[in-house]
Structure 1
C-alpha cells in the first residue's frame, strides 16, 4: 500500500509541475499577443497618418508651389512656347528636285 501511495504522490507532483508550466506558458503567450495587438494598432494609426500626409503632399497647389520655388519653373504662356517639329515629318525624297532626263 505504501508503494502505491508513493507512486500516486509522484504522479501528483509531476502533474502539478506540468500544470504550473502550462499556466506560465499561457500567461507568457497572452502577454505576447497583447503586445502584438498594441503594435498592430499603432501601425494602423501611423499608416492612416501617413496616408493623410501623402494626400496633402500631392495636392496640385503644393506641387505648383514647390515647382516655382525649388525648381524655378514658371507657368506656360504662348510667349515662351517653342514648337519643335520632328525631322522625320519632312520626307527627304519629297524635298529633293526631280531627276533630269528620266521619264517614268
Structure 2
C-alpha cells in the first residue's frame, strides 16, 4: 500500500509541475500576442499617418510651388507660345522598309 501511495504522490507532483509549466507558457504566449497586437496597431497608425502625408505632398499647389522654385518653371500663357516646325529630311531606308517623317510606309 505504501508503494501505491508513493506512486500516486509522485503522479500528483508531476501533474502539478506540468500544470504550472503549461500556465506559465500560456501567460507568456498571451503577453506575446498582446505585444504583437500593440505593434500592429502602431503600424496601422503609422501607415495612416504616412498616407495622409503622401496626399499632402502631392497636392497640385505644392507641386506647382516646387516647380517654380526648384525647377525654375513658369506657367503657360498664350504670350509665351513657341511653335516648332519639323523639317523633313531625305527619306532614309532601313533594311527593306522606307521610313519618311517617322512613319513607316
TM-score by length of 2: 0.77
- The residue that corresponds to 1:53 in the other structure is 53
Structure number with the higher strand fraction is 2
C-alpha distance in 1 between matches for 2:63 and 2:71: 11
Give the structure with higher Rg (CA). 1
Deviating runs (4+, > 6 A) in structure 1? none
- Stretches of structure 2 lacking an aligned partner (at least 5 in a row): 92-105
- How many pairs align? 91
- Stretches of structure 1 lacking an aligned partner (at least 5 in a row): 94-104
Provide, for residues 69-100 of structure 1, a one-character-per-residue CA deviation record: whole Å limited to 9, x for no partner.
Answer: 1111111123333233445xx4747xxxxxxx
Provide, for residues 19-53 of structure 1, a one-character-per-residue CA deviation record: whole Å limited to 9, x for no partner.
Answer: 01000000000000111111111111111111111
Structure number with the higher helix fraction is 1
Structure with the greater relative contact order (CA < 8 A, sep ≥ 6): 1 or 2?
Answer: 2
